[in-house]
Amino acid sequence: MSTQTIKTDRFMNTYKRTGLVFEKGKGAKLYTADGSEYIDFTAGIGVNALGHGHEKLVTAIAEQAAKVIHVSNYFLTEPSIKLAEELTDLTGYDKVFFCNSGAEANEGLIKIARKYGSSKKPDKNVIVTLKGSFHGRTVTTVTATGQDKFHQFFGPFTPGFIYVEPDNLDELERALTDTVCAFIFEPIQGEGGVRPLSPQYLQAAEKLCRERDILFVADEVQSGVGRTGAFLACEKLGVRPDMTAVAKGLAGGVPVGAILARGACAETLQPGDHGTTFGGNPLAAAAARVVLNELTQPGFLAEVDRKGEKLKSAARSWKNPLIKEVRGMGLMVGIAVTCPPSDVVAQCRTNHLLALTAGEDTVRLLPPLVITDEELDAGIARLKSSLDELAQRA
Ligand SMILES: Cc1ncc(COP(=O)(O)O)c(C=O)c1O
């Protein structure tokens, strides 16, 4: 179907769609049906860790589909058994619960935190999150999200959430009372504007949580699975959460989510407490095993760091008056701009580069982790031209 003939009137109006219809992809490139090529600095919003059309991923999905796609969680399959072992070995967590999305992973860990807290004290169920955070679109995860713009229309919301300023330890210390069961944070706020937390803040927050028997919980749905140049961003920040949510990149594009838990958190849920029909299905598990295998190849994560530095240092070297700041970790990069970031994204699209916005003022770049230097250089050149063209117009 060509881009000109698309009809979107049968879709609910939930996305500001671009009008682009993609047919296929290879590496960090996507192609429309009429053959136009785009460099993808979005990776499906941080999902296509191995890019598009990755041969090993495609083969594993096809082979697993031919064997068995789904059996329900009353039974096990080899891919999910192996994935559970590989993921817990890699991350040092004790146990995993598989689900299908980031929001679902966060919903599940909120349930674990509340069950854990109320076993200590009946009213220990309050959850502290950060202003500017994003944790998902279900009623409870949207409540956990510390941004007012998401808190409209859908009330009444789940009670028991409070929000504090990122990197303000005094405020956090006051908020962590004996009714709090968990502190949930993104190590780098993604949707909120690619804003890393300081390691000093996070390390002090972890200490406070431990002293007060409050669970220290990371939402690494966007920052996890190699995106920041470590398998989990918390490794780089020197903290060890009790639980971590991952999703997005974990199966390279097949829907998946996971709650990783250690210690008491890993034992909190009992049969009947929680569940999912699709979570941990062999198709997603087979795909995720390929992603883990690729990410653990020697030098893979160092390359993510190198390519991220290349992108950031290029943007920092430009004397473009629209650029306020360049920040991020690994291939999770934010460029704060003085114009609406959606203008930059639109101009990039005109120049056949796909980019994202984040927060109020940020252009967000999440290329596939396997992007080649050639693709990266071409994308950087298109980004520079787009910003230059906008600056000339301003
Ligand atoms: C940090 C974070 N948590 C949770 C979510 C929700 O994930 P999903 O859209 O898979 O439900 C997102 C999605 O952008 C996210 O970035």
Domain final residue, candidates 266, 295, 324: 295
| Residue 20 shares a structural domain with residue 117 | no
pLDDT digits (tens, 9 = 90+) for 320-368: 999 999 999 999 999 999 999 999 999 999 999 999 999 999 999 999 9
Q: pLDDT at position 8, please? A: 75
pLDDT digits (tens, 9 = 90+) for 81-96: 999 999 999 999 999 9
pTM confidence score: 0.98
Q: Give the mean model confidence (pLDDT) for residues 238-254.
A: 98
Catalytic annotation present for 134: yes
* Active-site entry in 29, 236, 248, 307: 248
Tell me the C-alpha distance between 168 and 170, whole Å: 6
Q: Give the mean model confidence (pLDDT) for residues 253-271.
A: 98
Q: pLDDT at position 5, please? A: 54
pLDDT digits (tens, 9 = 90+) for 45-66: 999 999 999 999 999 999 999 9
Torsion sign (Cα): 373, 370, 247, 352: positive
C-beta of 303 in contact with ligand 1 (< 6 A): no
Q: Give the mean model confidence (pLDDT) for residues 230-247.
A: 98
Eight-class DSSP state of 307: H
| Residue 195 shares a structural domain with residue 110 | yes
Model confidence band, residue 229 (pLDDT cutoffs 50, 70, 90): very high
Nearest CA-CA partner of 331 in 361, 353, 301, 356: 301
C-beta of 145 in contact with ligand 1 (< 6 A): no
C-beta of 233 in contact with ligand 1 (< 6 A): no
* Active-site entry in 97, 98, 161, 219: 219
**What are the helix and strand counts (H, E) for the chain?**
13, 17
Q: Give the mean model confidence (pLDDT) for residues 312-325.
A: 98
| Residue 286 shares a structural domain with residue 353 | no
> What ligand 1 atom has the least distance to the C-alpha of 190?
16
> What ligand 1 atom has the least distance to the C-alpha of 103?
11
Residues recorded for the chain: 394
| Residue 49 shares a structural domain with residue 154 | no
Domain final residue, candidates 267, 295, 323: 295
Q: Give the mean model confidence (pLDDT) for residues 294-305.
A: 98
Q: Which residues contact 311 (CB under 8 A, 6 or more apart)?
A: 331, 333, 365, 367, 376, 380
132 pLDDT exceeds 50?
yes
Domain final residue, candidates 243, 263, 295: 295
| Residue 50 shares a structural domain with residue 60 | no
| Residue 286 shares a structural domain with residue 330 | no
| Residue 192 shares a structural domain with residue 284 | yes
pLDDT digits (tens, 9 = 90+) for 157-181: 999 999 999 999 999 999 999 999 9
* Active-site entry in 41, 97, 98, 134: 134
| Residue 108 shares a structural domain with residue 181 | yes
SS3 category, 95: strand
Question: 274 C-alpha vs ligand 1 centroid, how far in Å?
Answer: 20
Catalytic annotation present for 167: no
> What ligand 1 atom has the least distance to the C-alpha of 248?
10
pLDDT digits (tens, 9 = 90+) for 281-296: 999 999 999 999 999 9
Residue of 130, 188, 248 to test ligand 1 pocket, by largest number of atoms within 8 Å of CB: 248
Q: Give the mean model confidence (pLDDT) for residues 20-48.
A: 97
| Residue 317 shares a structural domain with residue 276 | no
Tell me the C-alpha distance between 65 and 89, whole Å: 26
Eight-class DSSP state of 197: P
6 pLDDT exceeds 70?
no
Q: pLDDT at position 1, please? A: 47
| Residue 277 shares a structural domain with residue 350 | no
| Residue 154 shares a structural domain with residue 229 | yes
For residue 10, the domain's CATH number is 3.90.1150.10
C-beta of 135 in contact with ligand 1 (< 6 A): yes
How high does pLDDT run on average in the chain? 97
Q: Is the CB of residue 277 less than 8 Å from the CB of residue 100?
A: no
Q: Which residues contact 198 (CB under 8 A, 6 or more apart)?
A: 167
Q: Mark out the alpha helices in 121-240 (DSSP H runs).
A: 139-144, 169-175, 199-211, 233-237
Q: Which domain holds residue 119?
A: 56-295
Q: Is the CB of residue 154 less than 8 Å from the CB of residue 139?
A: yes
pLDDT digits (tens, 9 = 90+) for 104-120: 999 999 999 999 999 99
| Residue 313 shares a structural domain with residue 280 | no
Tokens 């993808």 map to which residue?
40
Question: 102 C-alpha vs ligand 1 centroid, how far in Å?
Answer: 5
Q: pLDDT at position 9, please? A: 83
Q: Give the mean model confidence (pLDDT) for residues 64-75.
A: 97
C-beta of 192 in contact with ligand 1 (< 6 A): no
C-beta of 107 in contact with ligand 1 (< 6 A): no
Tally of structural domains, the chain: 2
